[in-house]
Amino acid sequence: MKHTIAVLVENKFGVLARISGLFSARGFNISSLAVGETQDPMVSRMTIVVEGDDKTLEQIKKQLNKLIDVIKVVDYKEGDFIDRELILVKVSSCPKTKREILEVIEAVGAKIELAGEKSLCIEATGDQAKI
């Protein structure tokens, strides 16, 4: 089962390495990881998606809370957050294929981020099943 957890950490050198090292040392796999500064430049938010049962999740939370640089660990429950995937694809195009590509882009609700003479960079977002 997938679990999404948010970890507020001190925004300083080496914190990401310590947290990823904790996961590695304990044999926990990170399915997805996003890190960014919060409104407070001294604090970063790590959003981590992990696979495992409830026992594994509890162990991860306990281990994270033991780290000095961790301020808070939040376990998001299904429905408490919006989950989206992002894909960026660069495709070759020529005048012959451009129209077909544009039709597909419109049909799937994607958008063109960058158009060149011989290629298009396409962005699509949605849930995991769509992407």
Q: Are 50 and 2 in contact (CB under 8 A)?
A: yes
Residue 28: which of 36, 37, 19, 17 has the closest Cα? Answer: 19
Q: Would the CA dihedral through 27, 29, 35, 40 be positive or negative?
A: negative
pLDDT of residue 91: 93
pLDDT of residue 110: 94
Q: Are 72 and 109 in contact (CB under 8 A)?
A: no
pTM for this model (two decimals)? 0.75
Buried b (16+ CB within 10 A) or exposed e, 10-45: ebeeebeeebeebbeeeebeeeeeeeeeeeeeeebb
Average pLDDT on 74-103 reads 87
pLDDT of residue 4: 94
In this structure, which topology does domain 2-76 adopt according to CATH? Alpha-Beta Plaits (3.30.70)
Residue 27: which of 1, 52, 54 has the closest Cα? Answer: 52
pLDDT of residue 24: 92
pLDDT of 25-58, one tens digit each? 989 999 999 999 999 999 999 999 999 888 999 9
- The domain spans of the chain are 2-76, 85-126
Whether residue 69 has pLDDT greater than 90: yes
Please, which pLDDT band fits residue 98 given cuts at 50, 70 and 90? Answer: confident
Please, which pLDDT band fits residue 122 given cuts at 50, 70 and 90? Answer: very high
Residue 49: which of 66, 63, 28, 69 has the closest Cα? Answer: 28
